[in-house]
Structure 1
Amino acid sequence: MRTQEIRLELRRLHRGRGVHGADLRGRLGERLMALAAADDDTDAAELRRRLVARLKDCAAGLPAPERAVVVRALGVDGGEADLGERLRGIAVELGCSPRTVQRKVDAAERLLAERIRSRLSASPDDGWYVRRLTAHMLLDRPDVMAFEEREIVSTHDGLETVTLPFDLPENPGPQGPRLRVEVRFGGTLAAMNRSSPRRPEVTVELSKPLREGESHAVAVDITVDAGRLTRPHYILIPERRYDNVDLRVRFGAGRAPAWVRRVEAETVRTFDPPRMRGEALTPDRSGEVAVSFGNPRLQLGYGVQWGVEE
């Protein structure tokens, strides 16, 4: 699927009154119809509702200036003025010429097309995805602790549970390492599946059923026996869509390892066994490093790795 094809569909959509124009179905190509998860039986009002919700969702991951321009250009922000009026409004807000506005719209629609292509190319989301993961690992305690907060978004009505996998140390033994999991907010712990010693799964029953497009925050705290942490890294390997990832590792003041590095879009073979390569990270005076990623690719590693030898 080519980004340029999606850009052409967006350009056709933004004409006239944008998403609020008449004959919306006739102005949508197959890719925007797929984005709206619509078919010939979807009525016009539902088609418009789904398309607006999913365009907003895709635009949410863009930088603020581009997001503001593209939602205005497409009429997603709720305005029903024609394209000329919307572009003049953008020019007044930004204090720039019509030609500059058109360049900004083109650039913003290109970024939005890339987000749409990524979403349409992703594997099935089984009902939800992660808009943002914020995680903090503490290594300056008797046990290793990780606090993970996810802002999830439901892609259908009635979502009630989510299942979260966790990576554990290698060679954990027949019983696995000592592991404690607590749901701090957003739901309750419904089940834990440890059939895979290295990658147990936790099922969280959400505090309420979610509607399509509704977001919800879930925080899970994990504690592992420090003596069993044999893999020196904190790495996410996405198996579903993640829009934004923020990871922080705290070694503690004066306890920094010999090297710390950023891991981005790497295969398991690249970061296991550990070795220094790529971008080095320097812990601050409290012994912390932080990394952020946007739109990580499925089945590749993103995070922090460290080692005791150069």
Structure 2
Amino acid sequence: MVEAESLQGELIALRKGRGAQDPALRNRVGPLLRRIAGISDDMLAAEVRHRLIDCLEMHIRRVPEDLRMAASAAFALDPATAHRFLERRFELAADRLQRESRTVRRWSDKAIAAMAEQMTIDVDDRPAQQARRGWYVDALSTLHRLDGPTVVSYERRRIVAVEAPLERFEMAISLPQPADPRTEPPLVTMDLLCGGVTERLEVVGSQYFRWYVELAEPLPVGGQVDVLARFVFPPGLRTPPYYVFVPHHPCRRFRTVIRFPPGVPPPGLRRLDGAPGQVLADDAPIGEPIGPNRLGELALGFDDLREGLAYGARWTPQPR
């Protein structure tokens, strides 16, 4: 079990000096924080910084809103309060918050205590979740294209082994219920572009496709592999008014870009951040309103996903 007090001490030590912007950051990250952020000894300095900042920002978003700026300033994550000295960062944050710098320091202490407590819960719970299946998804990045004659999805999954040897894992996609249940189920094709080969495809009913992927070589415990795949959906498929990822294995990070036809975004776009699957068929306006950029691209990100819940976006269905 990870001690929250020890982790809190590592965070307090990290905020000193240049915080997360320290050129010698690798040497300033404590063992508990390295474990939680997924930092290994063989990583390049840029990857160490990237993973640490991702981890800090994710947990800062979970603390009470009035403490977030103080926490960001403490670790030198906010460009508006960036400075080489911690006390100066507190002063800059105090100016923005119209408070005294000692108040901002106190808020920083409270934020760090809350972050340490949450990190402790996460890291103590994570091995039990991961060990159930022998592997977990460290990162999933997707590009889902709705701007062409057929729907195409690209996925990159970073798989990490929890049990050895890990020789295979599964990837799955589900489709909406066909209008006529008597029709033959449409076939989704998957091309594995790197990282493994398709061992077999399992089709469950008319909606669920599961591919068993054999890795190029067995992974030891802690070993990881990036698998890149392309999914091509059948022409004329009735596209559902949502694109979501529902993890059935532990997943640490999910990033996606949904590309709509430029200039014609669907109405009612909303972000789904851990929503029950039932809301996908519900007309109620659930989730934060969002919109794509001028190219029709909608970028979304999620961290520490919960199994069985939906992450992504939904929109108002249009009449055919």
| From 288, 298, 303, the counterpart of 1:279 | 288
SS at match of 1:157: coil
- Output one character per residue of 1:22-66: Cα deviation in whole Å (capped at 9) or x when no partner: xxxxxxxxxxxxxxxxxxxxxxxxxxxxxx999744333997259
Hey, which bits of structure 1, 4+ residues long, moved more than 4 A?
Answer: 12-15, 52-55, 65-68, 94-97, 102-108
Q: Does residue 285 of structure 2 align to residue 237 of structure 1?
A: no
| From 138, 144, 148, the counterpart of 1:141 | 148
Q: Which residue of 2 aligns with 1:268?
A: 277
Quote how far apart the aligned CAs of 1:288 are.
Answer: 1.2
Q: Does residue 189 of structure 2 align to residue 175 of structure 1?
A: no
- Unaligned 5+ runs, structure 1: 1-5, 16-51, 69-93
When normalised by structure 2's length, the TM-score is 0.65
Residues 55/283 of structure 1: CA separation in 2 closer, same or farther (3 Å cut)? closer
AA aligned to 1:192 is: L
Q: Does residue 225 of structure 2 align to residue 247 of structure 1?
A: no
Q: Which residue of 2 aligns with 1:227?
A: 236
AA aligned to 1:114 is: I
Residues 252/129 of structure 1: CA separation in 2 closer, same or farther (3 Å cut)? same
Q: Which residue of 2 aligns with 1:89?
A: none
Quote how far apart the aligned CAs of 1:213 are.
Answer: 0.6
Quote how far apart the aligned CAs of 1:114 are.
Answer: 2.9
Q: Which residue of 2 aligns with 1:42?
A: none
Q: Does residue 196 of structure 2 align to residue 187 of structure 1?
A: yes
Percentage of pairs with the same residue: 24
Residues 118/184 of structure 1: CA separation in 2 closer, same or farther (3 Å cut)? same
CA distance in 2, matches of 1:270, 1:156: 35
CA distance in 2, matches of 1:225, 1:65: 40
Aligned residues: 243
Q: Which residue of 1 aligns with 2:297?
A: 288
CA distance in 1, matches of 2:215, 2:208: 22
Q: Does residue 36 of structure 2 align to residue 58 of structure 1?
A: yes
- Aligned counterparts, 1:40-79, within 5 A: 56-60=34-38, 64=52
Report if the CA contact (8 A) 1:145-1:222 is conserved.
Answer: yes
Report if the CA contact (8 A) 1:239-1:299 is conserved.
Answer: yes
Residues 196/309 of structure 1: CA separation in 2 closer, same or farther (3 Å cut)? closer
AA aligned to 2:252 is: D
Quote how far apart the aligned CAs of 1:67 are.
Answer: 6.2
When normalised by structure 1's length, the TM-score is 0.67
Report if the CA contact (8 A) 1:275-1:307 is conserved.
Answer: no
Kindly report the root-mean-square deviation, in angstroms, between the aligned alpha carbons of the 2 structures: 3.4
- Output one character per residue of 1:146-204: Cα deviation in whole Å (capped at 9) or x when no partner: 11111111002211111111111212755311321110111111110013321110011
SS at match of 1:176: coil
Q: Does residue 190 of structure 2 align to residue 212 of structure 1?
A: no
Q: Which residue of 2 aligns with 1:257?
A: 266
| From 115, 118, 138, the counterpart of 1:131 | 138
Report if the CA contact (8 A) 2:151-2:233 is conserved.
Answer: yes
SS at match of 1:177: coil
